[in-house]
Every structure is written in structure tokens, then in C-alpha cells.
Amino acid sequence: GAGVSQSPSNKVTEKGKDVELRCDPISGHTALYWYRQSLGQGLEFLIYFQGNSAPDKSGLPSDRFSAERTGGSVSTLTIQRTQQEDSAVYLCASSLEWSGGGYTFGSGTRLTVV
């Protein structure tokens, strides 16, 4: 597609429920990143996928968070047993391999845990 597409754009869920956030990167971009942006905060790195290499999961805050990337394209970020502190905007970005940080971000999914 022309840009990075994320869905849903907004998600309200009850505490304790599981949620899945989807990212569809730019066609041909082999690198995919997930970041989290809390209110008034910077962007916190979560996970990185590059081609068929093992993902860099070093930023995942707890074992309730997981992500996968199927077929080198679409990625899903899953949060199990959501907590109120998980409320944030989850941003996905893609790039051409290691492109020196020239990411293209999606518009994000705003997650609210009530």
C-alpha cells in the first residue's frame, strides 16, 4: 500500500481482556517496528522484525506482550490480560532494511483499557 496501515485506529477494552493490534507495512519494506507512545511521553521501542531474522524483542515490557509477523508482511501485536497501564498509542513503522532510521510510521492504534 501507499503507507503503513494500522487497525483498529481506536480500541477500548476491559481490564483483563486480550487485544490484537494489526500493522500492514509498506509493500517491499522488510523492516518493521512497533513503538508505544504514552500520553506526554516519547516513543518507547517494543519490537523489531527484519526479514527472516529472529526479531529483536528487547523492548517488550512484559511477557503479556507478544508480536508476530506473517509472511514477512503483516504484523500483529498481542497484549494479553490488559492492564490500565497498557493504555497508550501503539505505533507501527516500516523501512527498507536498515535504512538509517528513515521509518514511515502508521497513524497508530489508540488503546484504552478501562
Partner 1 sequence: QQQVKQSPQSLIVQKGGISIINCAYENTAFDYFPWYQQFPGKGPALLIAIRPDVSEKKEGRFTISFNKSAKQFSLHIMDSQPGDSATYFCAASSAASNTGKLIFGQGTTLQVKP
**Under the rule (CB under 8 A), what is the footprint of partner 1?**
4, 31, 33, 35, 40-45, 48, 50, 56, 91, 93, 95, 97-108
Nearer to partner 1, 4 or 111 (CB): 4
3-state secondary structure string across the chain: CCCCEEECCEEEECCCCCEEEEEECCCCCCEEEEEEECCCCCEEEEEEEECCCCCECCCCCCCCEEEEECCCCCEEEEECCCCHHHCEEEEEEEECCCCCCCCEECCCEEEEEC
The least distance separating partner 1 from the CB of residue 81, rounded to whole angstroms, comes to 27
The least distance separating partner 1 from the CB of residue 39, rounded to whole angstroms, comes to 11
Nearer to partner 1, 82 or 94 (CB): 94
Nearer to partner 1, 71 or 100 (CB): 100
